[in-house]
């Protein structure tokens, strides 16, 4: 999965969000007014019509996005918007290039909308189905827009060779949308897919950060590598704290069982939202490293104050101990899951995240 960064933009005019053969969805920047709640007036006309021949679509719009239906296929239109209380045509915000509905053939042949889901700290995975008739042989052009009024589409890359990409640095809390089309010569005759669902790049909640507040440099271990706490746990629905030690016989018996479950769980979609963090109860760092080398999940470094702080927080009095936390709030969902069904759906239900 290739990763790419974000280029923020400042909306200044009406932008086209999506088009099909009979409708256009447009978006505009929030217009300043002294009123507590802004109401917008949106007008439209065919671009070939007289410049003053605008029709009012609505004068009671509360949001900065609207969809005009029942339009003619393959036809260009112009839109303009202003605060509904304004009486001056000079206050209208518009766009330079007309927006066109698709022809029937374009709508039939274009690619399906991509899907987008949060994946770690301020990141998302975007996936799309391969284009039909080999049109994606030269790759795909992928575009993105911030899910805010008037935000335009911008090209992230013009020829992705795969049908999946990881997008990083998604900082806008209102989310992002994506669309795709075949690249190369095929793009000359291809329109973009419909827009994806809006996705927000997950961040780690302050409650979880507070639990790990004594973590040195805010990093945990994944194998022999250090990773930031945000990258490790942001977007996780469930976090399991595993207190264990090599000197403990029941621990040595349970750890391989947990590891098998973990590896199997990680191959499922819901498993990507679950993580395990090892809290060592070993007597020295050498024993910790030898024992942790057999484990596939994260670990709090042995010399970090957070290790003992977390064990105190979940009141470890015996091991093995597998404490199930709500990954968003840090709330304890199950005091000890050792010897119990490893039921992610039940844990998510307890967290109120079905």
Six token digits for residue 25: 């969805």
Question: 97 exposed, middle or buried (CB, 10 Å; 0-12, 13-18, 19+)?
Answer: exposed
d(CA 60, CA 81): 11
User: Would strands 176-182 and 99-100 be described as parallel, antiparallel, or unpaired?
Assistant: unpaired
d(CA 146, CA 170): 9
Q: What is the pLDDT of residue 185?
A: 66
Q: What is the pLDDT of residue 194?
A: 96
Q: What is the pLDDT of residue 7?
A: 47
pLDDT digits (tens), the chain, 354 positions: 555 555 445 567 999 999 999 999 999 999 887 767 899 999 999 988 766 789 999 999 999 999 999 999 999 999 999 999 888 888 999 999 999 999 999 999 999 999 999 888 899 999 999 988 778 778 999 999 999 999 999 999 998 899 999 999 999 989 999 999 998 765 556 899 999 999 999 999 999 999 999 998 899 999 999 999 999 999 999 999 999 999 999 999 999 999 999 999 999 988 989 999 999 999 999 999 999 999 999 999 999 999 999 999 999 999 999 999 999 999 999 999 999 999 999 999 999 875
Six token digits for residue 29: 């920047």
User: Would strands 225-228 and 40-46 be described as parallel, antiparallel, or unpaired?
Assistant: unpaired
Q: What is the pLDDT of residue 354?
A: 57
Q: What is the pLDDT of residue 136?
A: 73
- Residue 341 to residues 214, 322, 333, 349: CA-CA distances in angstroms? 31, 12, 14, 14
Do residues 140 and 156 touch, judged by C-beta distance below 8 A? no
pTM across the whole model: 0.78
């Amino acid at each position: 999965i290739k990763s790419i960064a974000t280029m923020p933009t400042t909306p200044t005019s009406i932008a086209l969000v999506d088009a099909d053969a009979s409708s256009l969805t447009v978006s505009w920047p929030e217009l300043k007014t002294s009123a507590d709640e802004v109401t917008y007036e949106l007008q439209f006309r065919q671009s070939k019509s007289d410049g003053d021949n605008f029709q009012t679509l609505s004068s009671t719009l509360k949001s900065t996005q609207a969809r005009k239906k029942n339009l003619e296929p393959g036809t260009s239109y112009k839109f303009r918007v202003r605060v509904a209380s304004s009486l001056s045509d000079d206050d209208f915000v518009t766009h330079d290039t007309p927006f066109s509905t698709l022809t029937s053939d374009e709508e039939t042949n274009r690619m399906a909308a991509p899907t987008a889901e949060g994946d770690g700290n301020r990141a998302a995975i975007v996936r799309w189905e391969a284009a039909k008739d080999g049109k994606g042989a030269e790759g795909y052009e992928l575009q993105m827009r911030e899910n805010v009024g008037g935000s335009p589409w911008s090209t992230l890359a013009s020829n992705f060779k795969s049908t999946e990409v990881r997008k990083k640095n998604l900082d806008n809390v209102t989310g992002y949308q994506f669309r795709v089309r075949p690249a190369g010569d095929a793009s000359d005759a291809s329109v973009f897919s419909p827009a994806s669902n809006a996705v927000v790049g997950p961040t780690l909640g302050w409650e979880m950060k507070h639990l790990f507040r004594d973590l040195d440099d805010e990093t945990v271990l994944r194998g022999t590598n250090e990773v930031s706490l945000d990258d490790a746990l942001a977007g996780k629905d469930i976090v399991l704290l595993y207190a264990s030690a090599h000197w403990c016989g029941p621990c040595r018996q349970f750890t391989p069982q947990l590891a098998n479950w973990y590896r199997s769980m990680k191959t499922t979609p819901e498993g990507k939202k679950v993580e395990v963090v090892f809290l060592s109860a070993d007597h020295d760092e050498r024993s910790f490293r030898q024992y942790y080398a057999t484990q596939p999940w994260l670990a709090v470094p042995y010399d970090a104050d957070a290790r003992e702080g977390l064990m105190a927080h979940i009141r470890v009095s015996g091991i093995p101990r597998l404490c199930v936390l709500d990954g968003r709030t840090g709330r304890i969902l199950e005091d000890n899951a050792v010897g119990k069904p490893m039921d992610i759906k039940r844990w998510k239900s307890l967290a109120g995240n079905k």
